[in-house]
Protein backbone atom coordinates (compact mmCIF):
# COMPACT_ATOMS: atom_id res chain seq x y z
CA UNK A 1 0.00 0.00 0.00
CA UNK A 2 1.40 3.39 -1.04
CA UNK A 3 0.69 6.56 0.96
CA UNK A 4 1.56 10.11 -0.15
CA UNK A 5 1.76 12.89 2.46
CA UNK A 6 1.96 16.46 1.16
CA UNK A 7 3.39 18.96 3.58
CA UNK A 8 5.71 16.14 4.56
CA UNK A 9 8.34 18.51 5.96
CA UNK A 10 5.85 20.01 8.40
CA UNK A 11 5.53 18.74 11.93
CA UNK A 12 2.10 17.19 11.31
CA UNK A 13 3.35 15.46 8.16
CA UNK A 14 6.37 14.14 10.05
CA UNK A 15 4.28 12.99 12.99
CA UNK A 16 1.70 11.34 10.73
CA UNK A 17 4.49 9.47 8.92
CA UNK A 18 5.89 8.17 12.21
CA UNK A 19 2.47 7.08 13.41
CA UNK A 20 1.72 5.20 10.19
CA UNK A 21 5.09 3.48 10.42
CA UNK A 22 4.32 2.57 14.02
CA UNK A 23 0.90 1.14 13.18
CA UNK A 24 2.17 -0.53 10.03
CA UNK A 25 -1.18 -0.56 8.25
CA UNK A 26 -4.18 1.47 7.14
CA UNK A 27 -7.50 0.55 5.56
CA UNK A 28 -6.82 -0.03 1.87
CA UNK A 29 -8.73 -0.45 -1.37
CA UNK A 30 -10.09 -3.79 -0.18
CA UNK A 31 -11.86 -2.12 2.73
CA UNK A 32 -9.68 -4.10 5.14
CA UNK A 33 -6.45 -3.18 6.91
CA UNK A 34 -3.47 -3.50 4.58
CA UNK A 35 0.27 -3.25 5.19
CA UNK A 36 1.77 0.13 4.27
CA UNK A 37 4.93 -0.63 2.33
CA UNK A 38 5.66 2.83 0.87
CA UNK A 39 5.29 6.38 2.21
CA UNK A 40 6.18 9.40 0.07
CA UNK A 41 6.78 12.68 1.91
CA UNK A 42 6.42 15.65 -0.44
CA UNK A 43 7.04 19.31 0.37
CA UNK A 44 8.34 22.52 -1.14
CA UNK A 45 11.30 22.28 1.25
CA UNK A 46 13.38 19.21 1.98
CA UNK A 47 11.44 16.82 4.23
CA UNK A 48 13.12 14.82 6.91
CA UNK A 49 11.79 11.54 8.25
CA UNK A 50 12.62 8.68 10.55
CA UNK A 51 15.15 6.37 8.92
CA UNK A 52 13.04 3.67 7.31
CA UNK A 53 13.34 1.96 3.98
CA UNK A 54 9.63 2.50 3.37
CA UNK A 55 9.96 6.31 3.29
CA UNK A 56 10.82 8.35 0.18
CA UNK A 57 11.57 12.08 0.49
CA UNK A 58 10.63 14.32 -2.42
CA UNK A 59 11.03 18.09 -2.82
CA UNK A 60 8.95 20.06 -5.29
CA UNK A 61 5.95 22.28 -5.96
CA UNK A 62 2.57 20.57 -6.22
CA UNK A 63 1.05 23.60 -7.90
CA UNK A 64 3.08 22.42 -10.91
CA UNK A 65 0.75 19.70 -12.19
CA UNK A 66 3.47 17.60 -13.80
CA UNK A 67 5.16 17.22 -10.41
CA UNK A 68 1.89 16.15 -8.79
CA UNK A 69 1.43 13.52 -11.51
CA UNK A 70 4.95 12.20 -10.85
CA UNK A 71 4.47 11.98 -7.09
CA UNK A 72 1.03 10.39 -7.25
CA UNK A 73 1.86 7.47 -9.49
CA UNK A 74 -0.36 4.62 -10.61
CA UNK A 75 0.06 2.65 -7.37
CA UNK A 76 -0.98 5.39 -4.92
CA UNK A 77 -3.70 4.20 -2.55
CA UNK A 78 -3.95 7.16 -0.17
CA UNK A 79 -3.13 10.87 -0.14
CA UNK A 80 -3.01 12.93 3.05
CA UNK A 81 -3.06 16.48 1.67
CA UNK A 82 -1.63 18.58 4.52
CA UNK A 83 0.51 21.00 2.51
CA UNK A 84 -0.53 24.68 2.47
CA UNK A 85 0.70 28.24 2.89
CA UNK A 86 -0.58 29.10 6.36
CA UNK A 87 -3.10 31.80 7.24
CA UNK A 88 -0.98 34.89 7.82
CA UNK A 89 1.26 34.05 4.88
CA UNK A 90 -1.69 33.47 2.56
CA UNK A 91 -3.20 36.78 3.63
CA UNK A 92 0.03 38.71 3.06
CA UNK A 93 0.96 36.98 -0.22
CA UNK A 94 -2.26 36.83 -2.21
CA UNK A 95 -0.99 35.31 -5.47
CA UNK A 96 1.38 32.85 -3.80
CA UNK A 97 -1.41 31.79 -1.45
CA UNK A 98 -3.78 30.93 -4.29
CA UNK A 99 -1.03 29.20 -6.23
CA UNK A 100 -0.01 27.05 -3.29
CA UNK A 101 -3.36 26.35 -1.68
CA UNK A 102 -5.75 26.27 -4.62
CA UNK A 103 -3.62 25.26 -7.59
CA UNK A 104 -1.78 22.73 -5.42
CA UNK A 105 -5.03 21.10 -4.33
CA UNK A 106 -6.33 20.99 -7.90
CA UNK A 107 -3.10 19.35 -9.05
CA UNK A 108 -3.39 16.67 -6.37
CA UNK A 109 -6.99 15.92 -7.30
CA UNK A 110 -6.27 15.86 -11.04
CA UNK A 111 -3.41 13.43 -10.45
CA UNK A 112 -5.80 11.21 -8.47
CA UNK A 113 -8.46 11.48 -11.19
CA UNK A 114 -6.05 9.95 -13.71
CA UNK A 115 -5.69 6.75 -11.68
CA UNK A 116 -7.57 3.60 -12.62
CA UNK A 117 -8.92 3.39 -9.05
CA UNK A 118 -10.31 6.01 -6.67
CA UNK A 119 -7.76 6.60 -3.89
CA UNK A 120 -8.68 7.82 -0.42
CA UNK A 121 -7.84 11.51 -0.03
CA UNK A 122 -7.78 13.19 3.39
CA UNK A 123 -7.73 16.99 3.09
CA UNK A 124 -6.95 19.25 6.05
CA UNK A 125 -9.25 22.25 6.20
CA UNK A 126 -9.52 24.80 9.00
CA UNK A 127 -11.93 26.63 11.27
CA UNK A 128 -10.85 29.67 9.22
CA UNK A 129 -13.71 28.44 7.00
CA UNK A 130 -16.06 30.19 9.42
CA UNK A 131 -16.73 33.90 9.69
CA UNK A 132 -19.40 36.54 9.85
CA UNK A 133 -21.85 36.57 12.73
CA UNK A 134 -21.12 33.26 14.42
CA UNK A 135 -22.99 31.42 17.15
CA UNK A 136 -21.13 30.90 20.42
CA UNK A 137 -20.41 27.31 19.35
CA UNK A 138 -20.13 26.22 15.72
CA UNK A 139 -21.17 22.78 14.49
CA UNK A 140 -20.98 20.68 11.33
CA UNK A 141 -24.13 22.49 10.18
CA UNK A 142 -22.83 26.04 10.68
CA UNK A 143 -22.46 27.62 7.21
CA UNK A 144 -18.95 28.41 6.03
CA UNK A 145 -18.32 32.12 5.52
CA UNK A 146 -14.56 32.69 5.39
CA UNK A 147 -13.22 36.17 5.98
CA UNK A 148 -9.61 35.53 4.97
CA UNK A 149 -7.93 34.28 1.80
CA UNK A 150 -6.74 31.18 3.68
CA UNK A 151 -10.29 30.41 4.76
CA UNK A 152 -11.49 30.79 1.16
CA UNK A 153 -8.79 28.37 -0.04
CA UNK A 154 -9.89 25.80 2.52
CA UNK A 155 -13.60 26.04 1.72
CA UNK A 156 -12.86 25.70 -2.00
CA UNK A 157 -10.74 22.65 -1.17
CA UNK A 158 -13.65 21.10 0.75
CA UNK A 159 -15.98 21.68 -2.18
CA UNK A 160 -13.50 20.13 -4.59
CA UNK A 161 -13.20 17.07 -2.34
CA UNK A 162 -17.00 16.77 -2.41
CA UNK A 163 -17.24 17.08 -6.18
CA UNK A 164 -14.38 14.73 -7.08
CA UNK A 165 -15.90 12.19 -4.69
CA UNK A 166 -19.37 12.65 -6.18
CA UNK A 167 -17.94 11.96 -9.63
CA UNK A 168 -16.23 8.79 -8.39
CA UNK A 169 -12.67 10.02 -8.96
CA UNK A 170 -11.64 9.79 -5.29
CA UNK A 171 -12.96 8.67 -1.92
CA UNK A 172 -12.43 11.97 -0.15
CA UNK A 173 -12.94 13.31 3.32
CA UNK A 174 -11.98 16.70 4.79
CA UNK A 175 -10.98 17.46 8.37
CA UNK A 176 -11.86 20.97 9.53
CA UNK A 177 -9.12 21.52 12.11
CA UNK A 178 -9.29 23.74 15.17
CA UNK A 179 -6.07 25.39 16.32
CA UNK A 180 -3.32 22.79 16.77
CA UNK A 181 -1.47 23.34 20.05
CA UNK A 182 1.40 22.94 20.79
CA UNK A 183 3.29 23.05 17.50
CA UNK A 184 7.05 22.50 18.00
CA UNK A 185 9.65 24.44 16.05
CA UNK A 186 9.98 28.15 15.36
CA UNK A 187 7.17 30.71 15.01
CA UNK A 188 5.54 30.89 11.58
CA UNK A 189 3.23 33.31 9.76
CA UNK A 190 -0.01 31.68 10.89
CA UNK A 191 -2.38 34.05 12.67
CA UNK A 192 -2.66 31.34 15.33
CA UNK A 193 1.10 30.99 15.81
CA UNK A 194 0.91 32.72 19.20
CA UNK A 195 -1.23 29.85 20.59
CA UNK A 196 1.79 27.56 20.49
CA UNK A 197 4.31 30.32 21.17
CA UNK A 198 2.71 31.31 24.46
CA UNK A 199 3.44 27.79 25.73
CA UNK A 200 6.43 26.66 23.67
CA UNK A 201 8.72 29.66 24.07
CA UNK A 202 8.46 30.16 27.87
CA UNK A 203 8.95 26.44 28.50
CA UNK A 204 12.09 26.58 26.34
CA UNK A 205 13.32 29.51 28.43
CA UNK A 206 12.79 32.33 25.92
CA UNK A 207 10.49 35.33 25.71
CA UNK A 208 7.07 35.05 24.07
CA UNK A 209 5.09 37.94 22.64
CA UNK A 210 1.34 37.37 22.59
CA UNK A 211 -0.49 39.59 20.06
CA UNK A 212 -3.99 39.05 21.47
CA UNK A 213 -5.78 39.88 24.72
CA UNK A 214 -5.65 37.48 27.64
CA UNK A 215 -9.37 36.68 27.37
CA UNK A 216 -9.15 35.62 23.69
CA UNK A 217 -10.75 32.19 23.31
CA UNK A 218 -10.08 29.48 20.73
CA UNK A 219 -10.85 25.75 20.36
CA UNK A 220 -7.59 23.80 20.47
CA UNK A 221 -6.54 20.24 19.68
CA UNK A 222 -3.22 18.57 20.50
CA UNK A 223 -0.92 16.98 17.89
CA UNK A 224 -1.56 13.57 19.46
CA UNK A 225 -5.30 13.93 19.02
CA UNK A 226 -5.20 15.39 15.51
CA UNK A 227 -3.03 12.58 14.13
CA UNK A 228 -5.39 10.01 15.63
CA UNK A 229 -8.30 11.92 14.07
CA UNK A 230 -6.76 11.99 10.58
CA UNK A 231 -6.18 8.23 10.67
CA UNK A 232 -9.71 7.56 11.96
CA UNK A 233 -11.12 9.71 9.14
CA UNK A 234 -9.00 7.84 6.62
CA UNK A 235 -10.01 4.41 7.87
CA UNK A 236 -13.74 5.14 8.17
CA UNK A 237 -16.06 3.58 5.59
CA UNK A 238 -17.13 5.91 2.81
CA UNK A 239 -20.74 5.40 3.84
CA UNK A 240 -19.98 7.07 7.18
CA UNK A 241 -19.87 10.45 5.43
CA UNK A 242 -22.70 12.52 4.05
CA UNK A 243 -22.65 14.32 0.70
CA UNK A 244 -20.74 17.19 2.31
CA UNK A 245 -17.71 15.18 3.33
CA UNK A 246 -16.24 17.65 5.78
CA UNK A 247 -15.94 16.68 9.44
CA UNK A 248 -15.41 19.38 12.04
CA UNK A 249 -12.84 18.10 14.52
CA UNK A 250 -13.43 18.63 18.24
CA UNK A 251 -11.50 21.18 20.22
CA UNK A 252 -11.07 22.26 23.82
CA UNK A 253 -11.96 25.94 24.29
CA UNK A 254 -9.29 27.79 26.26
CA UNK A 255 -8.25 31.40 26.72
CA UNK A 256 -4.81 32.84 26.09
CA UNK A 257 -4.48 33.40 29.84
CA UNK A 258 -5.28 29.74 30.55
CA UNK A 259 -2.61 28.65 28.07
CA UNK A 260 -0.03 30.86 29.78
CA UNK A 261 -1.03 29.61 33.24
CA UNK A 262 -0.74 25.97 32.17
CA UNK A 263 2.70 26.58 30.69
CA UNK A 264 3.87 27.98 34.02
CA UNK A 265 2.45 25.00 35.90
CA UNK A 266 4.61 22.71 33.75
CA UNK A 267 7.90 24.63 34.02
CA UNK A 268 9.36 22.32 36.64
CA UNK A 269 12.87 23.45 37.57
CA UNK A 270 13.61 24.77 34.06
CA UNK A 271 14.17 28.49 33.32
CA UNK A 272 10.85 30.02 32.26
CA UNK A 273 10.64 32.76 29.64
CA UNK A 274 8.69 35.98 30.05
CA UNK A 275 5.31 36.36 28.32
CA UNK A 276 4.73 39.86 26.98
CA UNK A 277 1.18 40.85 26.07
CA UNK A 278 1.44 43.16 23.04
CA UNK A 279 -1.84 43.31 21.14
CA UNK A 280 -1.61 43.39 17.32
CA UNK A 281 -4.87 44.78 15.85
CA UNK A 282 -4.57 42.74 12.63
CA UNK A 283 -3.97 39.41 14.40
CA UNK A 284 -6.65 40.20 16.98
CA UNK A 285 -9.21 40.98 14.26
CA UNK A 286 -8.43 37.76 12.37
CA UNK A 287 -8.66 35.62 15.51
CA UNK A 288 -11.82 37.38 16.70
CA UNK A 289 -13.50 36.20 13.49
CA UNK A 290 -12.86 32.54 14.32
CA UNK A 291 -15.15 30.27 16.37
CA UNK A 292 -14.87 30.30 20.16
CA UNK A 293 -16.04 26.70 20.53
CA UNK A 294 -17.08 23.65 18.50
CA UNK A 295 -19.71 20.93 18.67
CA UNK A 296 -18.21 18.08 16.64
CA UNK A 297 -21.08 15.57 16.35
CA UNK A 298 -19.82 13.87 13.17
CA UNK A 299 -16.33 13.44 14.60
CA UNK A 300 -17.65 12.02 17.86
CA UNK A 301 -19.66 9.43 15.90
CA UNK A 302 -16.36 8.31 14.35
CA UNK A 303 -14.70 7.95 17.75
CA UNK A 304 -12.72 11.21 17.51
CA UNK A 305 -12.37 13.03 20.84
CA UNK A 306 -10.98 16.32 22.11
CA UNK A 307 -8.33 16.72 24.78
CA UNK A 308 -9.74 16.73 28.30
CA UNK A 309 -7.81 19.77 29.57
CA UNK A 310 -5.21 22.35 28.64
CA UNK A 311 -2.86 20.59 31.07
CA UNK A 312 -3.20 17.39 29.01
CA UNK A 313 -2.18 19.36 25.92
CA UNK A 314 0.81 21.02 27.58
CA UNK A 315 2.05 17.86 29.29
CA UNK A 316 1.92 16.09 25.91
CA UNK A 317 4.16 18.79 24.45
CA UNK A 318 6.59 18.50 27.36
CA UNK A 319 6.82 14.72 26.90
CA UNK A 320 6.99 14.67 23.10
CA UNK A 321 8.89 17.79 22.07
CA UNK A 322 10.32 20.00 24.82
CA UNK A 323 13.84 18.53 24.96
CA UNK A 324 14.25 18.94 21.20
CA UNK A 325 12.66 22.41 21.37
CA UNK A 326 15.22 23.56 23.94
CA UNK A 327 18.03 22.31 21.67
CA UNK A 328 16.47 24.09 18.67
CA UNK A 329 16.22 27.38 20.54
CA UNK A 330 19.84 27.08 21.64
CA UNK A 331 21.03 26.93 18.01
CA UNK A 332 18.88 29.83 16.71
Which residues belong to the active site? Answer: 150
Q: Is residue 26 helix, strand or coil?
A: strand
CA distance 182 to 262: 12
Cβ–Cβ contacts within 10 Å for residue 71, how many? 21
> Parallel, antiparallel, or unpaired: how do β-strands 2-6 and 38-43 relate?
parallel
- Distance (Å, rounded) from C-alpha 137 to C-alpha 31? 35
Residue 100 is classified by DSSP as I
- Map 226-288 to HEC letters: HHHHHHHHHHCCHHHCCCCCEEECCCEEEEHHHHHHHHHHCCCCCCCCCEEECCCHHHHHHHH
Burial label for 145, CB within 10 Å (0-12, 13-18, 19+), is middle
Q: What are phi and psi of 28, to 5 degrees?
A: -105, -165
Find out whether 120 and 78 touch, Cβ atoms under 8 Å.
yes
- Our CA dihedral for 192, 196, 199, 204, rounded to 10 degrees, sits at -130
Amino acid sequence: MKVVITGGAGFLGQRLCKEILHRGELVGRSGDSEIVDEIVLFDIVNPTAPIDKKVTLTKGDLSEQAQAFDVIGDTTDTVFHLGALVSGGAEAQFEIGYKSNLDGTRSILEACRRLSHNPRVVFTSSIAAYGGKLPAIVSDETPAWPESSYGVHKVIGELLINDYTRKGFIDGRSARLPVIVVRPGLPNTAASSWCSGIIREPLAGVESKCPVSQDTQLPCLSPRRVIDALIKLHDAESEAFEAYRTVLLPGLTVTAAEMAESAERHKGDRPFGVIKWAQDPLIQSLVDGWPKGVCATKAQALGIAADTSIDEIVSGFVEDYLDDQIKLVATN
